[in-house]
Amino acid sequence: MIELDKLDLKILTALQENGRLSNLELAEAINLSPSPTLRRLKRLEQEGAIARYVALLDPAKLGLGLEAFVRVMLDKRERQFAGFAQAVQQWPEVVTCHAMAGEMDYLLRVVFEDLAHFSRFVMDTLLQHPGVVDVKSSFVLQAIKQTTALPLDHLGRPG
């Protein structure tokens, strides 16, 4: 873990709200001059606190109105864990994949145009992968909270 002070936390908080802030806008937001703001920003990028900058797209507005969480169980005897982890990288419908402890081995968050697209993915891709023995799906009815912002309050508390 890297060391962060209050100004670093202000930078991270501001960028989580708007990653397109110019250096001048960021400096104004944290009440610091542009030059030291830029130095701090570059350090946060180099040390990996800021992993990357992205645009967050709205799936529904781009024709991907069906979202689901899919739990996948693999046959432990088949030893397909590395192969599954590699395969999932090639499936554009999968927007997140987590290896899990517990009842299932993987949790996938997937997006599709419609139920027919989902069905094709499950039948022609997921269930065709060697070692997949069980798949359970839950469809998203409504997103109640969806954020990419990480909680940073714990970093500002005295240790």
Instruction: Determine which of 24-28, 58-62, 74-78, 147-151 has the lowest per-residue pLDDT on average.
Output: 74-78
Q: Which of 159, 117, 109, 104 is nearest to 139 (CA)?
A: 109
Over the stretch 97-129, which tens digit does the pLDDT of each residue have?
A: 999 999 999 999 999 999 999 999 999 999 999
Amino acid identity, position 146 = Q
Over the stretch 72-96, which tens digit does the pLDDT of each residue have?
A: 999 988 778 999 999 999 999 999 9
